[in-house]
Amino acid sequence: MNIISEKASPQRRLRLSHRSQSKKVYSRSGRVSSLIKLFFPAIALAIVGLTFAWPQIMPDKRKFGVTANLVEEIGVDGLLIEHPKYVGMDNSQRPYQISAISAAQKDKSDDQVLLQGPKADIFLNTSGWIAIDSNQGVYYRSNQVLELSGDVTVFHDKGYEFRTNSLKIDLLNGIGSSTSHVNVHGLAGEISSQGLEIDREGTRVLFTGKTKAILRGSRGSNL
């Protein structure tokens, strides 16, 4: 604390007054700096916490199985199963499995199962396999037919990938077809067509309609 004497010269009183004001400003600045040091880490911690909590606060609608259209289709008394799995065998005793985010039926006896986010794993005679996924699907239990729609992707373990908007698979007989545009990518090249047919228990694929193929040679050159 500075005491300014009345006998001090005007210049000395002015210097002492400035020094006192400077100490007050420095003291206030120190308090503000301390508050900032405490305040900003708290904000950062709150942002990190909100980042982790946001998926719980605002869930992804694409992963939510119950929609207004679904309730309207199966009725309020319909059945809804979360993360279902269906397993079966085709005529050649090859296993397959169908899973989904959710499945819905009008009742237990309903042959038609509506699928959200379906995935299918199918084993082939040659010990290979294919994996399929799409946005929506319908599984007919009695004849083991799977109809897929919306961003359908088929991946073969040999490195081939099929993309189309719709695909119908007869799981019992190992055949399938699509009337939508198809794109295929693989080590041997690329193929685009207006549709496809799968026969011979999944061992042969026939591309239908207008088809374009870019095939690569053994050294990666286009043919």
CATH of the domain at 177: 2.60.450.10
Task: Say if residue 140's pLDDT is above 70.
Answer: yes
Q: What is the pLDDT of residues 78-123, one digit of tens each?
A: 688 889 999 988 888 888 999 999 998 887 788 899 999 999 998 8
Helix (H, G, I), strand (E, B) or coil at 196: strand
The answer to whether position 101 is within a domain reads yes
* 112 and 46 within one domain: no
Strands (E), the chain: 79-82, 85-89, 95-99, 102-105, 112-116, 119-123, 129-133, 136-140, 145-156, 161-170, 175-178, 182-186, 189-193, 195-199, 204-208, 212-215
Amino acid 113: pLDDT: 92
Residue 4 lies in a domain: no
Distance between CA atoms of 147 and 139, rounded to whole angstroms? Answer: 6
Say if 2 falls within a structural domain: no
State whether 97 and 187 are in the same domain.
yes
Summarised one tens digit per residue, pLDDT across range 29-88 is: 555 555 555 555 666 566 655 555 555 555 554 444 545 555 555 554 568 888 999 998
pTM: 0.63
Neighbour count for residue 119 (Cβ, 10 Å): 18
* 82/182 same-domain check: yes
Instruction: Kindly state whether residues 28 and 85 are assigned to the same domain.
Output: no
Is 1 contained in some domain?
A: no
Verify that 26 and 122 share a domain, yes or no: no
Stronger pLDDT, 70 or 152, i.e. the higher one: 152
Q: What is the pLDDT of residues 161-213, one digit of tens each?
A: 999 999 999 998 888 999 999 999 888 889 999 998 987 666 678 889 999 98
Predicted local distance difference test score (pLDDT) of residue 67: 53
Domain count for the chain: 2
223 lies in a domain? Answer: no
Q: Is the domain of 96 the same as that of 186?
A: yes
Q: What is the domain range of residue 21?
A: 9-58
**Does 157 lie in the same domain as 51?**
no
Same-domain check for residues 54 and 73: no
